[in-house]
């Protein structure tokens, strides 16, 4: 039975006192209470994850990589709205591009429909920027380059889409070659206010023939024995879950496509093939298209 507020009851009582009493009537049957319709509860908002919900290892920063364990019962994970692959033991890997926004959101959907969300602050980095008071020299592509390049890019895209089932993403990475660091990740030149493309990997300078080893377990998804126009002899190794390494300018390749390699296996040798000014290894690391700093994964001390 609905109760009226006291402010509504008082005027009704005052009015009743001013009216003559009515003749008595037989008592009416007591009213039957009708239960009020209960409003449908709105779905609960996503719960904010606590440290006990997600376990993360690594530093969340631009060009960085994190390993993690999802909350128990997780059936689906997303990073900024894109799906994240989960292993059977709920482990996963995520990474942040060189130009990643300073905030990301990791979410896990549990079997009961509950959604846990974890805001992640992505630390910005100060990149090595060189400002030049001149225009960039843009080489005019030759007809031969224009004819070959589309097929080369298509092979690279197709190779990076292959999931060879490797578990190398779980491992601690090692440097693939010994030598001097001649180029750092993220460095960039700006020509009269116009930014040029940034350096998407780490360069290790060493004599031609210096061995190159696999930084982690993986599957060879591209082995370009015929040098590409820019990358030269190019080797791409899939480490699983969207993480892969690219090795550029090799003088030789010692493995074949589809071959499984273990961390530390020799896979090729440093060279100067493709567009290179001298013998060195360019090591690039990507996760689902995001470029990652190899030094942040293998250790800043270098090879």
Buried b (16+ CB within 10 A) or exposed e, 270-288: bbebbebeebbbbbbbbbb
CATH architecture designation of domain 47-121? Sandwich (2.60)
Quick one: which H or E segment has residue 12?
helix 6-16
CA distance 10 to 144: 95
Class at the top of the CATH hierarchy for domain 129-298: mainly beta
> Which residues of the chain does CATH 2.60.40.2470 include?
47-121
- C-beta of residue 270 within 8 angstroms of C-beta of residue 177: yes
- C-beta of residue 267 within 8 angstroms of C-beta of residue 247: yes
Quick one: pLDDT at residue 37? 42
Cβ neighbours around 167 below 10 Å, total: 14
Task: Give the pLDDT band (50/70/90) at residue 279.
Answer: very high
pLDDT value at 76 more than 90 = yes
Task: Give the pLDDT band (50/70/90) at residue 181.
Answer: very high
Q: Each residue of 141-177: pLDDT tens digit?
A: 889 999 999 999 999 999 999 999 999 999 999 999 9
Quick one: pLDDT at residue 211? 98
Q: Each residue of 233-275: pLDDT tens digit?
A: 999 999 999 999 999 999 999 999 999 999 999 999 999 999 9
> Which residues of the chain does CATH 2.70.70.10 include?
129-298
Q: Is 114 exposed, middle or buried (0-12, 13-18, 19+ CB in 10 A)?
A: middle
Residue with tokens 């995520």, as numbered in its chain = 94
Give Cα separations from 161 to 24, 108, 199, 239 (angstroms).
Answer: 90, 24, 22, 12
- C-beta of residue 271 within 8 angstroms of C-beta of residue 291: no
What pTM was computed for the model? 0.80
């Amino acid at each position: 039975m609905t109760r009226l507020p006291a402010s509504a009851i008082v005027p009704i009582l005052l009015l009743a006192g001013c009216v003559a009493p009515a003749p008595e009537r037989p008592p009416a049957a007591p009213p039957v209470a009708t239960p009020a319709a209960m409003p449908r509860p709105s779905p609960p908002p996503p719960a904010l994850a606590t440290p006990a919900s997600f376990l993360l290892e690594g530093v969340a920063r631009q060009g960085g990589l994190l390993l993690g364990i999802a909350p128990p019962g997780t059936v689906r994970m997303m990073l900024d709205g894109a799906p994240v692959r989960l292993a059977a033991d709920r482990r996963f890997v995520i990474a942040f591009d060189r130009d990643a926004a300073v905030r990301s959101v990791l979410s896990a959907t549990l079997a009961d429909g509950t959604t846990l969300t974890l805001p992640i602050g992505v630390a910005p980095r100060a990149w090595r920027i060189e400002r030049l008071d001149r225009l960039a020299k843009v080489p005019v592509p030759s007809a031969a380059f224009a004819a070959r390049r589309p097929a080369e890019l298509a092979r690279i895209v197709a190779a990076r889409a292959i999931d060879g089932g490797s578990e190398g993403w779980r491992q601690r990475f090692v440097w693939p070659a010994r030598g001097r660091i001649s180029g750092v990740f993220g460095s960039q030149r700006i020509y009269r206010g116009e930014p040029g493309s940034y350096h998407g990997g780490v360069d290790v300078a060493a004599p031609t023939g210096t061995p190159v080893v696999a930084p982690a377990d993986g599957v060879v998804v591209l082995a370009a024995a015929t040098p590409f126009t820019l990358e030269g002899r190019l080797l791409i190794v899939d480490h699983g879950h969207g993480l892969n390494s690219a090795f550029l300018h090799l003088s030789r390749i010692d493995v074949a496509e589809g071959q499984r390699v273990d961390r530390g296996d020799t896979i090729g040798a440093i060279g100067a093939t493709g567009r290179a000014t001298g013998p060195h290894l360019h090591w690039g690391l990507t996760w689902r298209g995001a470029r990652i700093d190899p030094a942040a994964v293998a250790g800043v001390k270098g090879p």
